[in-house]
Amino acid sequence: MKNIVLVFLGGGLGSALRYGLSSWLNQFYPWAVGTFSANILGSLLIGLLMGWFIKWPHFEADLRLLLAIGFCGGFTTFSALALEQVNMIKNGATMHALVYMASTLILGVAAVFLGLWLSRQ
C-alpha cells in the first residue's frame, strides 16, 4: 500500500507541475510547447534519476517510486501528445503534427541519454 501512495503522491505533483507549465507556456506560443517541454524535461529528469540510482545504489526504493515512476510518470504525458497530434491533423496541420511527433521522440530519447551522461559526471 505504501508503494501505491508514493507513486500517487509523485504522480499528483508531476501532473500538477505539468499542468502549470503547459498553462503558462501555451499562452505565449501557438502550438503545444507546454506538453513538448514537459516531455523533454521529464525525459532528461528520468535519465538523471536513473543514472544517480545506478551510481548510488543506496538510494531508497521509496525515492525511486516517488520520483522516477510517480513524478516523472505524471509530469510527462503521451495521451496529451496524442490528442494534440489529432487536433493538429484535424485542423489541417499534418506536417506540423509529424514534425512535432518526430521531434518529441528524438529529443526525448536524446534527453534521457543526456541525463544518464550528466549523472555520471
Structurally, how many domains does the chain consist of?
1
Which pLDDT tens digit goes with each residue over 8-57?
999 999 999 999 999 999 999 878 899 999 999 999 999 999 999 988 88
Domain encompassing residue 26: 2-119
- 53 Cα distance to chain centroid: 18
Q: The C-alpha cell of 99 is what?
A: 514534425
Q: What is the pTM of this model?
A: 0.87
Cα–Cα distance, 62 to 121 (Å, whole number): 24
